[in-house]
């Protein structure tokens, strides 16, 4: 009976052959996987790598903004989302998460402006429309 050597157990979340990952899209895919695993700080590093390799990668900036929001770092979220919107001004989800970040910072007027833009870009974005409705019912305009 022959014993086969078992492959080493992977204990790290670092991608195999990370030193060979030269393309932004490789890092983007890795960041998406880390988000699925809810490994947000590691995903943040992956998306930083995306925008370092490809500074005009709108989804890389968007994902950075989204993750910063999840980590409750709203100023950083807004900064990254602003970069995404500079590249893609009609990115409805970026406007929505920008509005949420302003909302959590109690900057209601900026939140409303971003939410209005989100709905303008995508009238089907119900989360943005709902928060906008709630803010208006509370007397904000």
If you average pLDDT over residues 40-63, what whole number do you get? 97
**How many CA atoms within 13 Å lie on the side-chain side of 81?**
26
Asked whether residue 8 carries a pLDDT value surpassing 70, the answer given is no
Over its C-alpha atoms, the chain yields an Rg (Å, rounded) of: 19
Count Cβ atoms below 10 Å from residue 72 Cβ, excluding itself. Answer: 10
Query: Can you give the residue ranges of every domain in the chain?
Result: 22-137
Asked whether residue 65 carries a pLDDT value surpassing 60, the answer given is yes
- For residue 141, name the pLDDT band (cuts at 50, 70, 90): confident
- pTM for the model stands at 0.85
Helix axis angle, 92-104 to 74-87, nearest 10°:
160
Superfamily of domain 22-137 in the CATH hierarchy = Tetratricopeptide repeat domain (1.25.40.10)
């Amino acid at each position: 009976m022959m014993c086969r050597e078992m492959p080493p157990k992977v204990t790290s979340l670092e991608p195999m052959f990370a030193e060979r990952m030269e393309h932004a899209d490789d890092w983007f895919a890795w960041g998406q996987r880390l988000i699925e695993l809810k490994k947000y700080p590691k995903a943040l590093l992956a998306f930083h790598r995306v925008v370092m390799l490809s500074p005009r990668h709108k989804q890389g900036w968007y994902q950075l903004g989204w993750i910063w929001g999840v980590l409750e770092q709203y100023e950083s979220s807004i900064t990254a989302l602003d970069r995404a919107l500079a590249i893609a001004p009609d990115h409805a989800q970026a406007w929505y998460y920008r509005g949420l970040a302003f909302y959590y910072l109690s900057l209601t007027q900026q939140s409303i402006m971003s939410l209005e833009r989100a709905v303008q870009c995508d009238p089907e974005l119900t989360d943005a429309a709902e928060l906008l409705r709630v803010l208006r019912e509370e007397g904000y305009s």
